[in-house]
Amino acid sequence: MYKYIGDRAFYRKLFAVLVPILIQNVITNFVSLLDNVMVGQVGTEPMSGVAIVNQLLFVFNLCIFGGLAGPGIFSAQFFGKGDDEGVRQTMRVKLFVASGAVLLFGALLLRHGEALISLFLHEGEEGLDLAATLRYGRDYLAVMLWQIVPFAAGQIYAGTLREAGETVLPMKAGIIAVFVNLVFNYIFIFGKLGFPAMGVVGAAIATVLARFVECGIVMIWPYLHRERCPYVIGAFRSLRVPLPLFRQITVMGLPLLVNEFLWSGGMTTLNQCYSLRGLEVVSAFNISVTISNLFFCAFLAMGNAIAILVGQLLGAGELQKARDDDRKLIAFSVALSVAAGGVMALVSPFLPRLYNTTEGVRSLAVQLLLVGAALMPVHAYANACYFTLRSGGKTLITFVFDSVFTWVVSIPAAFILSRFTALPIMPMYIVVESLTLIKVALGFYLVRSGKWVVNLVQ
């Protein structure tokens, strides 16, 4: 058992990295739940329109995370080596990636946003208004497009700060931003303090304001604390990146970017398959995903902690310690998810009742939550394996492990079941989600092989 349980110093170091990330994620998702409930009070159609647009923006967000993850691997290892100039160069690569993603997705959503929203609109048993849902989604998207620039810029700095061990500041910025979002949601959605009630447009305006606040904090703070963040000094005075480093980051980072794009696109495609069972399924998934994210924070934050802690050990040349610590980190991630899944199962019958929607939508949301709670340890193990492989630069393997699996296994199963059978949504969802067990077996083999134990900046 001591192979899987660390000493006091191990957990002290883990909690120093994990707790700020976890607190930020929990608060962010808790406020997102409150935001979602506020929009849900307006009605099922507005809630569904917002959910569809957020599903499209989810692809952009994941592309930013994936595109910055490649340079982030090098940032963590350069910082572990004590090479500030190396960290500056990775920040420049992040700027190139983020700018490209903003231009590409901004143009795509501006030109084809309405058509993409329409892909999720199908008649169901509840008789919901598809035209109204499309109108709400279109209005929400028109405002939300303004937040993609501050989001991308903020992630460049927040990610670099975390990779350099400064996890508290991004946490504080995230907490401030979500409370800004919450307050202005209340004001703009329901028309308080003399403002008109703007519904979903008000929710979008509040989100844009929150993004600018968060971006401003994480961009300004490092320059006010240069002694703690020397790598930001002159980071963008030049955009020069040595060609060998740029080539190495591209070779290693491109699979991560493509992976996040294909994975997030895959999740969106899965939801589109599920939406064929009716608009009420979109509404139920919106409720269950928003609630689930609050509990999934446990293993998602552990994934970030694994990437940071193991990446720093690899960069410092402590290869055997990296392997030993990783085994303990994976065990802790699974144990944490078992506890979180238990709590989620206990509260799942009650939280959907916060929404102003039909009883059928609430009942379906409860069933989805219970399935998610039961499978949380499975997803936690797969997630920990993914970040372990990524910390050692095995991005091509993670690409196969994550995106190829989604498109080759999960999506064909959902596509066939949704279009060529009359299987109800719950059995369909359980079958598709259970396929993650295949990924768990693959992850166990890849991590145990030790091929990921590599010092990239030696």
Q: For the residues 408-432, what does the mean pLDDT come to?
A: 93
Out of 62-66, 232-236, 337-341, give the one with best mean pLDDT. 337-341
Residue 39 is predicted with a pLDDT of 82
| Stretch (H or E) spanning 447 | helix 436-449
Rounded CA gap, 338 and 352, in Å?
Answer: 22
Instruction: Give the total residue count for the chain.
Output: 458
Q: Is the pLDDT of residue 66 over 80?
A: yes
The residue among 420, 132, 98, 396 whose CA lies nearest residue 273 is 420
Measured CA to CA in angstroms, residue 273 lies from 277, 403, 432, 434 at distances of 8, 17, 11, 17
pLDDT score recorded for residue 125:
63
Among 402, 429, 396, 418, smallest CA distance to 250 is for: 396
Residue 57 has pLDDT above 70, yes or no: yes
DSSP symbols for 294-310: HHHHHHHHHHHHHHHHH
Which of 156-160, 163-167, 350-354 has the weakest average pLDDT? 163-167
Q: Determine the pLDDT at residue 435.
A: 93
Q: How far apart are CA 181 and CA 150, in angstroms?
A: 14
Which range has highest mean pLDDT (72-81, 94-103, 279-288)? 94-103
Q: Where are the domains of the chain?
A: 8-449
Which H/E stretch holds residue 318? none
- What's this model's pTM, rounded to 2 decimal places? 0.77
Low-confidence winner among 153-162, 291-300, 306-315, 449-458 (lowest mean pLDDT): 449-458
For residue range 173-198, list pLDDT tens digits in order.
988 988 898 899 999 998 998 899 99
Q: Give the Cα separation of 97 and 134 in Å (integer).
A: 31
pLDDT at residue number 426:
94
Write the CB contacts of 189 (distance below 8 Å, at least 6 apart in sequence). 38, 39, 42, 197, 198, 199, 200, 202, 203, 206
Query: Smallest Cα–Cα separation from 41: which of 271, 369, 353, 279?
Result: 353
In the DSSP assignment, the letter for residue 317 is T
pLDDT of residue 103: 95
pLDDT for the residue 150: 95
Q: How confident is the model at residue 124 (pLDDT cuts 50, 70, 90)?
A: low
When the pLDDT of each residue in the chain is averaged and rounded to a whole number, the result is: 88
As a whole number, mean pLDDT of residues 332-344 equals: 94
Q: From residue 161, how far is each of 17, 137, 304, 400, 440 by CA, in Å?
A: 12, 35, 13, 29, 31
Structure tokens at 167: 């996890």
Please state the rounded mean pLDDT for residues 269-286. Answer: 89
Residue 330 corresponds to which tokens in the numbers above?
Answer: 């994976």
pLDDT tens track for 289-334:
889 988 998 888 999 899 888 888 888 888 888 888 899 999 999 9
Averaged pLDDT, 366-389? 94
> Which 3 state secondary structure label does DSSP give 139?
helix
